[in-house]
Amino acid sequence: MRLRSATPGRERWDIEPLLGSPDLAEELEKALLLNKGVVKVSASPVSGRILILYGVGSLEASVEALLREALERLPSQKTAEPPAKRGFNALSGPLLELLPALEQLKRPLMWSVVSHGLSIAQGLFVVATLNAALEKNPKLLRRLLGSRFGIMSSMLMISTGANMYVQHQRKRAWRQLARNYEHALRARVLAAIEAQDLATFDQQGTGRLLSLMTKDTARITSFLERGVDDAVKNALTILISGSLLLTTSPVLVLIACLPVPFMVLPLRKLGQRASAARTRQNERSDLFTQHLENSFSGIIDIKSFTAEQQDIRRLSESARQLADAELEAAEVSSLEAHLMQGAFATGFVVMTVYGGLKTLKGRLSDKVFARTMYLFPQVLGALGGVSEVLGNYRAAASSAERLKEMLGSRPSIQSGPVRLPKGQVRGEVLFENVVFGYEPSTTVIHGISLHLRPGETLAIVGPTGSGKSTLLRLLLRFHDVRDGSIRVDGHDLRTLDLQDLRSAISIVGQEPYLFDGTVKDNVLLGHPQASDEDVAEALKSAGALEFVNALRGRMDAQVGERGRKLSGGQRQRIAIARALLKKAPILALDEATSHLDYETEAAIQRSVRNASSRMSMIVVAHRLSTIRRADMILVVDQGKVREMGRHDELLAHGGLYSFLWNLQSGE
Ligand X SMILES: Nc1ncnc2c1ncn2[C@@H]1O[C@H](COP(=O)(O)OP(=O)(O)OP(=O)(O)O)[C@@H](O)[C@H]1O
Residues that bind ligand X (CB under 6 A): 202, 438, 444, 462, 464-470
Give the CA radius of gyration of the chain.
34
Contacts of residue 587, Cβ cutoff 8 Å, sequence gap at least 6: 505, 506, 507, 508, 579, 580, 608, 612, 615, 616, 617, 618
Nearer to ligand X, 185 or 617 (CB): 617
Nearer to ligand X, 510 or 612 (CB): 510
CA–CA gap between residue 517 and residue 522 (Å, rounded):
7
Give whole-number Cα distances, 150 to 142, 215, 371, in Å: 11, 52, 19
Give whole-number Cα distances, 521 to 121, 529, 531, 559, in Å: 59, 11, 12, 10
Nearer to ligand X, 511 or 537 (CB): 511
Structural contact between residues 442 and 560, judged by C-beta atoms closer than 8 angstroms: no
Pairing of strands 640-645, 632-637: antiparallel
Q: Least CB distance from residue 200 to ligand X, whole Å?
A: 11
Q: Least CB distance from residue 462 to ligand X, whole Å?
A: 6
Nearer to ligand X, 175 or 482 (CB): 482
Closest to 457 measured CA to CA, from 269, 614, 254, 267? 614
Nearer to ligand X, 23 or 293 (CB): 293
Nearer to ligand X, 382 or 448 (CB): 448
Nearer to ligand X, 304 or 464 (CB): 464
Give whole-number Cα distances, 662 to 75, 199, 643, 648, in Å: 63, 38, 16, 13
Contacts of residue 598, Cβ cutoff 8 Å, sequence gap at least 6: 623, 625, 626
Nearer to ligand X, 407 or 627 (CB): 627
Q: Least CB distance from residue 383 to ligand X, whole Å?
A: 52
Nearer to ligand X, 198 or 255 (CB): 198
Output phi, psi for 632, to 5 deg: -150, 135
Q: Least CB distance from residue 635 to ligand X, whole Å?
A: 12
Torsion of CA 283, 403, 271, 278, to 10 degrees: -20
Using DSSP's 3-state secondary structure scheme, residue 196 falls into: coil
Nearer to ligand X, 404 or 468 (CB): 468
Nearer to ligand X, 202 or 483 (CB): 202
Using DSSP's 3-state secondary structure scheme, residue 508 falls into: strand
Structural contact between residues 504 and 511, judged by C-beta atoms closer than 8 angstroms: no
Nearer to ligand X, 574 or 635 (CB): 635
Closest to 376 measured CA to CA, from 344, 422, 336? 344
Give whole-number Cα distances, 299 to 15, 295, 440, 509, 650, in Å: 43, 6, 33, 22, 43
CA–CA gap between residue 437 and residue 54 (Å, rounded):
13
Closest to 434 measured CA to CA, from 398, 409, 470, 458? 470
Q: Least CB distance from residue 650 to ligand X, whole Å?
A: 18
Contacts of residue 114, Cβ cutoff 8 Å, sequence gap at least 6: 166, 170
Closest to 355 measured CA to CA, from 377, 379, 375, 373? 373
Residue 446 Cα to chain centre, angstroms: 35
Count Cα atoms within 13 angstroms, Cβ side, for 452: 31
Structural contact between residues 198 and 469, judged by C-beta atoms closer than 8 angstroms: no
Structural contact between residues 418 and 495, judged by C-beta atoms closer than 8 angstroms: yes
Q: Least CB distance from residue 541 to ligand X, whole Å?
A: 25
Q: Least CB distance from residue 444 to ligand X, whole Å?
A: 4
Q: Least CB distance from residue 442 to ligand X, whole Å?
A: 7
Q: Least CB distance from residue 467 to ligand X, whole Å?
A: 4
Q: Least CB distance from residue 262 to ligand X, whole Å?
A: 55
CA–CA gap between residue 153 and residue 160 (Å, rounded):
10
Using DSSP's 3-state secondary structure scheme, residue 41 falls into: strand
Nearer to ligand X, 399 or 626 (CB): 626
Q: Least CB distance from residue 307 to ligand X, whole Å?
A: 23
Residue 553 Ramachandran class (φ > 0 left, ψ -120 to 50 alpha, else beta): left
Q: Least CB distance from residue 197 to ligand X, whole Å?
A: 11
Q: Least CB distance from residue 484 to ligand X, whole Å?
A: 16
Nearer to ligand X, 115 or 466 (CB): 466
Q: Least CB distance from residue 295 to ligand X, whole Å?
A: 21
Nearer to ligand X, 252 or 472 (CB): 472
Q: Least CB distance from residue 448 to ligand X, whole Å?
A: 11
